[in-house]
Structure 1
Amino acid sequence: MFPDELFGESPNDEVLGYRGPAACQIVGITYRQLDYWARTKLVVPSIRTATGSGSQRLYSFKDLAVLKVVKNLLDTGVSLNNIRSAVEQLRRHGVRDLAKITLFSDGVTVYECTSPEEVVDLLQGGQGVFGIAVGGAMRELSGSIAHFPAERAGAGASVVDHAQEDELASRRNRGARSAG
């Protein structure tokens, strides 16, 4: 369903990461939001944090999925306090397990459901005003990230551009490679 290198399970066990500006565009948030969430430790980049002026944060696919859920919860009016508890729940799961989770909220509490039975039980109990299928957000992200350059997190980190290069970018890259 998702490419293995998004999960750190590629043949050479390198994980792809996305810098802050790309993460913002992929998820649909502002850089100011991303920076605030990182500084307040709501969503901290798991691959590389900022270590000073000029350093670049590097966000994993799981980080992007959590950012997308945070954005969706904010858009539906859930308080930042409840979002923090939802993020804590999501952090406890591996990235593949996230795809099986649906978050529901009654506007006060965020509930985590991992099976259709739990969803039915929650709804029958009168809980849940809206739900967010984390797997749906992840599928949306996996389609979006194809248009953004990624960076390998391994020792020999390099930028991986999923998008087709235009002719000018291709010439620049060839020139840079021959000069280096």
Structure 2
Amino acid sequence: MGDQPMDNGASGDRGAPRTATQGSLEDIAPGLFPNDTVPDELIGYRGPSACQIAGITYRQLDYWARTSLVVPSIRGAAGSGSQRLYSFKDVLVLKIVKRLLDTGISLQNIRVAVDHLRQRGVEDLARITLFSDGTTVYECTSAEEVVDLLQGGQGVFGIAVSGAMRELTGTISDFPGERADGGVTETAPEDELAARRKSRTRRTG
């Protein structure tokens, strides 16, 4: 039972994802976050920032929130003037949804995949690779599962969640975050690569 389908089809016992392989984040994805610290889940990003970071339109963001596909876990829009706040994990899921949509997966199947992703912590998500045959989304948490899936002809394309995280970590450092517990605006810590790029820009500019 290598591949873990994440759809509502007639898959028997294969519908439940296998528990993620244990191990430290550094073992699974070294250098994924600055100082190997998992992003603070109390820091949120407003809708416009989340759109730019994930590469989606505000219309998509609003529709996905209204239909409960991806809702802001830190703060929802509860009234006039209130601002949604999306956590790092929320923005990661937005980015993954966008990639799945771009490959032609239906929103119905994406919704099932998102439900599984929501149940995972950030560290668990770093261990997952998503594959799809264009219809069903499969979850793999080990190299053996990936091999089984590809040999079965079910994996047409894949998304390594840790790779999406690395992209997100590099991008999100340029956007201000807001603490849900105090409302203090702060910028997310820069990763080493982003710091080097800015240093080069200052020297050559």
Fold shared by both chains (TM-score > 0.5): yes
Cα separation, 2, equivalents of 1:149 and 1:7: 13
Please say if residues 82 and 110 of structure 1, whose CA atoms lie closer than 8 Å, have aligned partners that are also in contact. Answer: yes
Cα separation, 2, equivalents of 1:51 and 1:162: 25
Shift of 1:5: 6.1
The CA RMSD over aligned residues, in Å, is 1.6
Specify the alignment match of 2:134 in structure 1: 107
Specify the alignment match of 1:149 in structure 2: 176
Cα separation, 2, equivalents of 1:91 and 1:141: 17
For the structure 1 residues 60 and 125, does the alpha-carbon distance in structure 2 shift closer, same or farther, using more than 3 Å as the test? same
Secondary structure of the structure 2 residue equivalent to 1:43: coil
Alignment of 1:6 onto 2:32: no
Spell out the pairing of 1:51-66 with structure 2 (5 A cutoff).
51-66=78-93
Alignment of 1:120 onto 2:120: no
User: Which consecutive aligned stretches of 4+ in structure 1 deviate over 4 angstroms post-superposition?
Assistant: none
State the identity as a percent. Answer: 73
Among candidates 84, 94, 107, match of residue 67 of structure 1: 94
TM-score (norm 2): 0.73
Specify every segment of 5 or more residues in structure 1 that has no aligned partner in the other structure, as ranges: 9-14, 165-180
The letter for the 2-side match of 1:6 is P
What is the total number of aligned residue pairs between the two structures?
157
TM-score (norm 1): 0.83
Secondary structure of the structure 2 residue equivalent to 1:18: strand
Specify the alignment match of 1:161 in structure 2: 187
Specify the alignment match of 1:174 in structure 2: none
Secondary structure of the structure 2 residue equivalent to 1:147: coil
Alignment of 1:50 onto 2:77: yes
Please say if residues 7 and 95 of structure 1, whose CA atoms lie closer than 8 Å, have aligned partners that are also in contact. Answer: no
Specify the alignment match of 1:86 in structure 2: 113
Secondary structure of the structure 2 residue equivalent to 1:47: coil
Which protein has greater RCO, CA pairs closer than 8 Å, 6+ apart?
2
Q: Over residues 35-64 of structure 1, what are the superposed CA-to-partner deviations in whole Å (9 max), with x where a residue is unaligned? A: 000000000110001102211000000001
The letter for the 1-side match of 2:184 is S
Please say if residues 147 and 163 of structure 1, whose CA atoms lie closer than 8 Å, have aligned partners that are also in contact. Answer: no
The letter for the 2-side match of 1:54 is G
Specify every segment of 5 or more residues in structure 2 that has no aligned partner in the other structure, as ranges: 1-31, 191-205
Secondary structure of the structure 2 residue equivalent to 1:151: strand
